[in-house]
Every structure is written in C-alpha cells, then in structure tokens.
C-alpha cells in the first residue's frame, strides 16, 4: 500500500472527491494561493480553479453561512475554518442553522456540509490558536463530529463526511500533519460511528483521541515492559459514538483510562467515562482514570505549554494507577 502523510491523506480525499463530483468544492481563508494555514490545500487552486477553491473574507460566520446555503442547494461544500478556536466565530451558523435545519424542515432540507478545522498544542501557538473544543460540538444534536488520528483514518473518514447528508465538524490535530502511514491504493470509506482498536490488550483499556492516540500507544509499550497489557481504542467519531466497541473492550480488561488533549474538566472524556460507568460498572476493578490538559489557557512559552498538555508519561501513570501501582 502507498504511504501518505496525514496532510497528504486529507488533500487526497478532497481532491479525489472534487475530481469525481462537480458538486464538491472547498472554501476558506487563504486556502487558494497560500494552500491554507497548514498547507493542506496546496496545489488545488491550480488543478480546480478559483470557482471550486474559493478564498473567503476573514469572517468565519460568513464563510460558514455561505457553505450552509450551498449545501441546502444540493452541493457538498467543505469549509475550512483556519483554527479550531475560530469555530467560536462560526458557531451561530454551525450550531443554530446547520445543526437544526433538517429537523426544523421535517426532513425537506439536508445540509451536507463539512467544517474542517485544526488545532492543538505543540508549536507555541498561544492561548487563542490551540484550543481543543470538540466537546462543545458533540453537545449539539444535529451535528456529527469526527476526530481522526492516522492518515488512513483521516482519508476514509473525510470521504464519508463529504458524502454524509448531515453537517459534520471534522477536527484535525496540527502536530499529526507530518506523520506517515500506509493507506489503501483506492480510498475506502470508513463508516462514521465506528471505533478502531489500535492495539489489543488484556489488563487496561485506554480510550484516546487525536494526538493522545499516539501518546497512548507509547505508554502502552512502556507498560508492557512492566508486565501490563494495554488495549488502545480510538473512537474516531465522537458523535455518533461507538459505545459498543468501547464498552466491550472495558468488559474484557476491567479497567479504563480516557485520554485527550482538551482540558479535563467537562471534556469529551467525561462522557466516555459516564458511558462506561453506566454500561460496564459491574466489570470495573478500579476507578476510571481521566487524562487531559490542566485547567488553564495554553501558554505561549514552550516549556509551559508542554507542562499544561498531557503526554505519554501522564497516560502511563494513569494506567499504573488502575492496576494499583500508584503511577510508579
């Protein structure tokens, strides 16, 4: 199978869809000549032209509204919101319009739009350019929420998102753009709402999203050296959530750790912990552990930034607490 970077996998899904379907187009701030803030759409203007690779004004609400209008008219737009933090500016359109229109029209309208956005720590972007806000949008009925962690998953899930008749908020983590992985020669759609077990284990289940999937796999390797077998599961889609796979894993291992880069308080991991508590309580041999960022704005200074967000050592400590080793 060919090897693609995460960035190339996103671009491949977009470009392939646009080659095959004239109804697919992309829009966003600086996505044309500049290729987007992370270079994901680099080269697409030359292939598809300015009608289908549309630079927009610096107004997230306006570009989100334009994408929603185009989707209601039968197109399949992919709107890039430059930074995840700027989803706050698009929220009125995404939350009050896109998420509600199919329901309020009794199914007469569909809104097949994807809002691609990226965020996360790792390069000192500061407090206004690196928030992880996925829990905000999981809370909104009418939206689907995707957060892929590998090149294969990001390509297959973006394809499925483009061809879903509901609005999808599609999160990407900026530090993953350079990672490489094997992908199928031909794009294989990945169902929205299906988790992936990255590593089989017997003693502890770690349920992780985004960058923390990779940190959890590192932690699992370290735990194995200490005689602890760790299963790592990536939900991939946060809404709808594949509760069956998550619960089945915890019932097998009898212990659970939930890990994400977002702030721990009221984070997505709280909902996962609740699902496990309700559906697998009788199987638990230890309290559910949660790993996330400290409750503070993200500092600019690299050392302070790394202190705030979680890493593999934090996941490993949580794993060890579940097996009664106090994080040692």
Nearest to 158 by CA among 63, 55, 24, 29: 24
Structure token pair of residue 151: 């090149």
Residue 41: exposed, middle, or buried by beta-carbon count in 10 A (0-12, 13-18, 19+)? buried
| Annotated catalytic residue, options 29, 129, 152, 231 | 129
CA distances from 292 to 213, 249, 327 (A): 12, 21, 16
Whether 129 is catalytic is: yes
| Annotated catalytic residue, options 29, 60, 152, 172 | 60
**Angle, CA 142 vertex, CA 41 and CA 213 arms, to 5°:** 55
Q: Which residues of 237-271 are buried (b: 16+ CB within 10 A; e: fewer)?
A: bbbebbbebbbbbbeebbbbbbbbbbbbeebbbbb
CB 279 within 8 A of CB 308: no
Whether 60 is catalytic is: yes
Phi, psi at 255, each rounded to 5°: -145, 150
d(CA 235, CA 230): 16
Which long-range contacts (C-beta less than 8 Å, at least 24 apart) are formed by 270-276? 270/135, 271/135, 271/138, 271/241, 272/207, 272/235, 272/241, 272/246, 275/241, 275/243, 275/246, 275/247, 276/246, 276/247, 276/250
CA distances from 115 to 60, 84, 112, 143, 216 (A): 11, 10, 10, 10, 27
d(CA 33, CA 218): 38
Q: What is the DSSP string of 86-108?
A: GHHHHHIIIIIIITTHHHHTTTS
Q: Which amino acids are annotated catalytic? A: 60, 129
């Amino acid at each position: 199978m060919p090897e693609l970077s995460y960035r190339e996998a996103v671009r491949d899904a977009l470009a392939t869809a646009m080659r095959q379907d004239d109804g697919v187009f992309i829009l966003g701030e600086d996505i044309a000549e500049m290729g987007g803030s992370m270079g994901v759409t680099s080269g697409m203007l030359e292939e598809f032209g300015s009608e289908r690779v549309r630079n927009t004004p610096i107004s997230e609400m306006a570009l989100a509204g334009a994408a929603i209008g185009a989707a209601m008219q039968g197109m399949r737009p992919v709107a890039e919101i430059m930074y995840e933090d700027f989803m706050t500016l698009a929220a009125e359109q995404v939350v009050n319009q896109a998420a509600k229109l199919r329901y309020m029209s009794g199914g007469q309208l569909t809104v097949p739009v994807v809002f691609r956005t990226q965020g996360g720590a790792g390069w000192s972007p500061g407090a206004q350019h690196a928030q992880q806000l996925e829990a905000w949008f999981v809370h909104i009925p009418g939206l689907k929420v995707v957060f892929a962690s590998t090149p294969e998953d990001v390509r297959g899930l973006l394809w499925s998102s483009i061809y879903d008749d509901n609005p999808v908020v599609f999160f990407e983590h900026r530090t993953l753009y350079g990672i490489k992985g094997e992908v199928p020669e031909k794009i294989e759609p990945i169902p929205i709402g299906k988790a992936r077990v990255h590593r089989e284990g017997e003693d502890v289940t770690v349920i992780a999203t985004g960058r923390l999937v990779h940190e959890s796999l590192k932690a699992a390797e370290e735990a194995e050296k200490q005689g602890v077998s760790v299963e790592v599961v990536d939900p991939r889609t946060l809404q709808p959530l594949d509760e069956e796979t998550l619960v089945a894993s915890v019932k097998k291992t009898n212990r659970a750790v939930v890990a994400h880069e977002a702030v721990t308080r009221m984070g997505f991991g709280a909902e996962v912990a609740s699902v496990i508590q309700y559906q697998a309580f009788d199987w638990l041999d230890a309290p559910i552990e949660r790993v996330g960022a400290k409750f503070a704005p993200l500092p600019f200074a690299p050392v302070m930034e790394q202190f705030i967000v979680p890493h593999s050592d934090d996941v490993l400590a949580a794993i060890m607490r579940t097996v009664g080793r106090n994080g040692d």
